[in-house]
């Protein structure tokens, strides 16, 4: 347990140093676990506040926390941010000369430094190990911890030495942090750092608003055009494996009247930036790209992500599809799949070292299993990342257009018995051979043809049994061995099944064996856009109008009206200023400033389509709240300090800002410059304002990520209010 006085200090420092009034997600539990001296393993998405998890305990503890990070630019950035708020931090890496290294080391040994960032290459040098032995180290944090695993997507051999070096420094708590890790990578990290006992804090990988679909490659370009034409005007990303394919598909789309541009590392930097900006500013609808695109942007309204070619791994696929629907609205993730794609990727791996080649082959097998399986896509993805979904999601192609299903009982028992009979030492393909009675060299060498289970399932082929084993794994009856992912073991749930067998649903796989070019009119699994509650014809016109008005006024499109507002307009058909002012995110201020062309558009659409509309929208409001809003506006007009307004209204600063935001976003112009000038100098105000002017979203979380920890959440919220008051109201 962490003492109450330490918890009080944590909350105080959270506000004082980082500008936050409350912790996000698991942050507080993670920090308390570190302060209790326990090993801690954190799997948290980028932007969710991983760095604060080790920075804050470092600040409140005696000694210096050592942070191992492979990213030199990120190291310097974090050190600058800490120093800017009065926290002594330094880094030790190859960019320092001898005099600078000496200065850094002396500061640590004198107890003046709270955080020391070290590159893994610097950590392994003997003189640095000797120096750290003399220092008072509070704990060691390992950022980007997936780099320690050969199964991770960014393996760094130097990370393998971290544990042995840390042991030289004493019995120190370890904190491992990463943005993504499969169960195998997770186990690999814990094993290599000897922190199997670590407390695990893991965020969910479930993206509820993403629709997952796989189509067989047949007449793929026709499939592609059909899909995009059904989503006219929506933003999308198409991923291809090669630069040549990127250029070809971008040109093909342009010829077919789709506004599209290419993006890959082979383009000149200026061209890449120009194409990216065109996509962000909605001058083009589609970017065709290699995986180089998307890492540095966070466009919230990407409505579809298409993989023209199968990705190299499920982890890569998950990261790339995750660039869709970040605004919380629906995103459609479509992958075109052919066995030939996997064969091509396997050829790319043939010249790699043996271990790396085997790992790549395993990742491709996972990709193939995902594509060909008839099991709920979301269940497969979450299972891959170590999460369980008890029921099918209902929001993927396999749920909405399921393959054939049968009830099985005897077959499941045979599969589990075969795994046990082979002493839980073999993979799925070998188990299939045993079940179907295949006497190959491998089966002969282990004399598995002598097992009673041998040939017991010869009435079905190996592919059937392979699929059954895979589904038994997703359902928790089998699991993969921690050290060898190809080896299957029977779980406690599987043992219980064998003790009391019962019927289970078996879902047939898709047949992707015939994916040569052919007429796909009757074969492609087309999914019409989900039936929406709003009028899609009017919505498309309104969205085009937003882009036009934004361009005319030289403002980001989101400043005019955002998609939820447009969707509500396309549902309620407001035709008067009063009706339009009741739309979510609008208000009378915006109506007066931008409303005229939108009302004209809606009126014309209503007349041309003979649509009946509601004459008035009744909005009930709380009288006390209305009175409070009037008092807040009045006090701001009189330039009363916000702290004094909080005291008078008995509100926290967070609650007051929420009230002010509601007033501003409803269309009332507020002048907070008198207060802003007292807390932010002109240069800092200008930097935040420039961000909102160039950003494609006003999302606070995105702003915090982009602007960095140099600015507090409170400062950004205040500047967002100023920005909207000046440009939107």
pLDDT in tens, 407-456: 999 999 999 999 999 999 999 999 999 999 999 998 999 999 999 999 99
The residue out of 202, 233, 267 marking a domain boundary is 202
Instruction: Indicate the pLDDT class of residue 525, thresholds 50, 70 and 90.
Output: very low
How far is Cα 407 from Cα 392, in angstroms, rounded to an integer?
16
What are the residue ranges of helices labelled H in 114-242?
120-123, 126-134, 162-169, 183-192, 220-229
Question: Is 469 a member of any domain?
Answer: yes
pLDDT of residue 283: 93
Nearest by Cα to 420 from 369, 363, 472: 472
pLDDT tens digits, one per residue of 531-577? 455 788 899 999 999 999 988 888 888 888 888 789 888 888 888 88
Tell the burial category of 410 from Cβ atoms under 10 Å away from its Cβ (0-12, 13-18, 19+): exposed
Q: Say if residue 49 is in the same domain as residue 189.
A: yes
Q: Say if residue 99 is in the same domain as residue 221.
A: no
Q: Say if residue 100 is in the same domain as residue 121.
A: yes
pLDDT of residue 527: 41
How far is Cα 195 from Cα 141, in angstroms, rounded to an integer?
12
Lowest mean pLDDT, pick from 325-339, 457-471, 496-510, 652-666: 652-666
Kindly state the DSSP code that residue 237 receives in the 8-state scheme. E
Question: Is 512 a member of any domain?
Answer: no
- CB count in 10 Å sphere of residue 464: 18
Contact 505, 407 (CB under 8 A): yes
Res. 513: pLDDT tops 60: yes
pLDDT of residue 612: 64
Question: Is 305 a member of any domain?
Answer: yes
- CB count in 10 Å sphere of residue 358: 14
Contact 358, 288 (CB under 8 A): no
Nearest by Cα to 215 from 507, 470, 510: 510
Q: Say if residue 590 is in the same domain as residue 665.
A: no
pLDDT of residue 47: 46
Question: Is 636 a member of any domain?
Answer: yes
Res. 522: pLDDT tops 50: no
Most distant CA pair in the chain: distance in Å? 92
Res. 309: pLDDT tops 90: yes
Tell me the average pLDDT across 592-621: 73
CATH of the domain at 441: 1.10.10.10
Question: Is 368 a member of any domain?
Answer: no
| pTM strictly above 0.85 | no
Q: Say if residue 586 is in the same domain as residue 639.
A: no
Q: Say if residue 414 is in the same domain as residue 476.
A: yes
The three-class DSSP label of residue 333 is strand
Question: Is 540 a member of any domain?
Answer: yes
pLDDT tens digits, one per residue of 124-143? 889 999 999 999 999 999 98
Q: Say if residue 195 is in the same domain as residue 52.
A: yes
The total number of structural domains in the chain stands at 5
pLDDT of residue 523: 35
Q: What is the 3-state secondary structure (H, E, C) of 658-701?
A: HHHHHHHHCCCCCCCHHHHHHHCCHHHHHHHHHHHHHCCCCCHH
Instruction: Indicate the pLDDT class of residue 684, thresholds 50, 70 and 90.
Output: confident
Q: Say if residue 123 is in the same domain as residue 272.
A: no
Helix (H) or strand (E) segment spanning residue 567: helix 563-572
pLDDT of residue 410: 94
Kindly state the DSSP code that residue 450 receives in the 8-state scheme. G
CATH of the domain at 178: 3.40.50.300
pLDDT of residue 429: 92
Q: Say if residue 47 is in the same domain as residue 185.
A: yes
Q: Say if residue 465 is in the same domain as residue 497.
A: yes
**Exposure b/e, 294-320, CB count within 10 A at least 16 = b:** beebbbbbbbbbbbbbbbbbbbbbbbb
How far is Cα 149 from Cα 181, in angstroms, rounded to an integer?
10
- CB count in 10 Å sphere of residue 103: 12
How far is Cα 124 from Cα 242, in angstroms, rounded to an integer?
37
Q: Mark residue 314 as left, alpha or beta (left: phi above 0; alpha: psi -120 to 50; beta: remaining).
A: alpha
How far is Cα 351 from Cα 331, in angstroms, rounded to an integer?
37
Nearest by Cα to 488 from 444, 430, 434, 412: 430
Instruction: Indicate the pLDDT class of residue 298, thresholds 50, 70 and 90.
Output: low
Question: Is 388 a member of any domain?
Answer: no
Strand segments (E) across 25-75: 40-43, 64-68
Which residues, including other chains, have CB under 8 Å from residue 530's CB and lie 6 or more apart? 211, 330
Question: Is 379 a member of any domain?
Answer: no
Contact 217, 337 (CB under 8 A): yes
Q: Say if residue 24 is in the same domain as residue 118.
A: yes
Per DSSP, the residues of 61-122 read: SSSEEEEE-S-HHHHHHHHHHHHHTT--EEEESTTS-HHHHHHHHHHHHTT--SEEEE-HHH
Instruction: Indicate the pLDDT class of residue 578, thresholds 50, 70 and 90.
Output: confident
Lowest mean pLDDT, pick from 16-25, 167-176, 277-286, 396-405: 16-25
Range of the domain at 557: 536-608
Tell me the average pLDDT across 709-726: 87
How far is Cα 150 from Cα 223, in angstroms, rounded to an integer?
37
What is the residue-averaged pLDDT of the chain?
85
Instruction: Indicate the pLDDT class of residue 74, thresholds 50, 70 and 90.
Output: low
pLDDT of residue 623: 44
pLDDT of residue 161: 85
Q: Say if residue 581 is in the same domain as residue 664.
A: no
Lowest mean pLDDT, pick from 384-388, 664-668, 703-707: 664-668
């Amino acid at each position: 347990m962490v003492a109450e006085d330490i918890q009080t200090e944590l909350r105080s420092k959270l506000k004082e140093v980082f500008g936050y009034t409350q912790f996000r997600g698991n942050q507080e539990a993670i920090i308390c676990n570190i302060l209790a001296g326990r090993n801690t393993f954190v799997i948290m998405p980028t932007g969710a506040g991983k760095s604060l998890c080790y920075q804050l305990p470092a600040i409140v503890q005696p000694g210096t926390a050592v942070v191992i990070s492979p990213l030199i630019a990120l190291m310097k950035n974090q050190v600058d941010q800490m120093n800017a708020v009065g926290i002594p931090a330094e880094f030790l890496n190859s960019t320092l000369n001898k005099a600078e290294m000496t200065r850094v080391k002396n500061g640590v040994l004198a107890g003046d430094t709270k955080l020391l960032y070290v590159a893994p290459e610097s950590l392994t040098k003997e003189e640095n190990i000797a120096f750290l032995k003399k220092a008072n180290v509070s704990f060691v944090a390992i950022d980007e911890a997936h780099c320690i695993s050969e199964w991770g997507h960014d393996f760094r051999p130097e990370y393998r030495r971290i544990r042995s070096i840390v042991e030289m420094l004493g019995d120190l708590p370890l904190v491992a942090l990463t943005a993504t890790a499969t169960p195998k990578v997770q186990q690999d990290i814990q094993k290599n750092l000897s922190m199997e006992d670590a407390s695990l804090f893991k965020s969910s990988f479930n993206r509820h608003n993403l629709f997952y679909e796989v189509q067989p490659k047949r007449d793929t370009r026709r499939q592609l055009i059909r899909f995009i034409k059904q989503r006219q005007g929506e933003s999308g990303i198409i991923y291809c494996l090669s630069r040549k394919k990127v250029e070809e598909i971008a040109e093909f789309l342009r010829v077919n009247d789709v506004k599209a541009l290419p993006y890959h590392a082979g383009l000149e930097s200026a061209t890449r930036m120009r194409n990216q900006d065109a996509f962000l500013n909605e001058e083009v609808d589609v970017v065709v790209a290699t995986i180089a695109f998307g890492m540095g942007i966070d466009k919230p309204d990407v409505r579809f992500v298409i993989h023209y070619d199968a990705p190299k791994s499920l982890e890569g696929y998950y990261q790339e599809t995750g660039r869709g629907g970040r605004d919380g609205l629906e995103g459609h993730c479509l992958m075109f799949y052919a066995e030939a794609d996997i064969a091509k990727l396997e050829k790319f791996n043939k010249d790699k070292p043996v271990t790396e080649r085997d790992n790549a082959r395993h990742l491709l097998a996972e990709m193939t299993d995902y594509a060909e399986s008839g099991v709920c896509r979301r269940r497969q993805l979450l299972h891959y990342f170590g999460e369980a979904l008890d029921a099918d999601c209902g929001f993927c192609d396999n749920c909405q257009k399921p393959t054939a299903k049968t009830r099985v009982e005897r077959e499941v028992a045979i599969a589990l018995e075969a795994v046990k009979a082979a002493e839980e030492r073999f993979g799925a393909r070998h188990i299939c051979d045993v079940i179907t009675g295949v006497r190959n060299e491998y089966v002969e060498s282990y004399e598995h043809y002598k097992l009673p289970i041998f040939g017991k399932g010869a009435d079905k082929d190996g592919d059937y049994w392979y699929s059954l084993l895979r589904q038994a794994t997703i359902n928790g009856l089998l699991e993969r061995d921690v050290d060898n992912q190809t080896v299957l073991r029977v779980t406690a749930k599987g043992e219980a099944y064998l003790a009391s067998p019962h019927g289970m649903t078996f879902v047939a796989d898709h047949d992707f064996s015939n994916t040569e070019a052919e007429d796909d009119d009757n074969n492609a699994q087309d999914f019409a856009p989900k039936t929406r509650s709003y009028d899609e014809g009017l919505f498309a016109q309104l969205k085009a109008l937003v882009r036009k008005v934004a361009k005319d006024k030289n403002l980001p499109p989101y400043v005019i009206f955002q998609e939820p507002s447009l969707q509500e307009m396309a549902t309620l058909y407001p035709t008067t200023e009063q009706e339009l002012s009741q739309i979510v995110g609008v208000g009378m201020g915006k109506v007066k400033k931008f409303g005229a062309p939108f009302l004209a558009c809606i009126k014309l659409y209503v007349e041309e389509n003979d649509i009946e509309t509601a004459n008035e929208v009744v909005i009930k409001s709380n009288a006390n709240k209305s009175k409070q809003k009037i008092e807040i506006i009045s006090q701001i007009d009189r330039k009363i300090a916000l702290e004094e307004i909080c005291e008078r209204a008995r509100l926290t600063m967070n609650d007051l800002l929420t009230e002010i935001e509601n007033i501003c976003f409803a269309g009332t112009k507020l002048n907070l410059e008198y207060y802003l000038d007292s807390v932010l100098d002109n240069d800092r105000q200008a930097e935040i304002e420039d961000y909102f002017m160039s950003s494609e979203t006003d999302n606070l979380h995105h702003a915090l990520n982009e602007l960095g920890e140099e600015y507090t959440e409170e400062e950004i919220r205040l500047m967002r209010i100023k920005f909207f008051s000046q440009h939107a109201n």
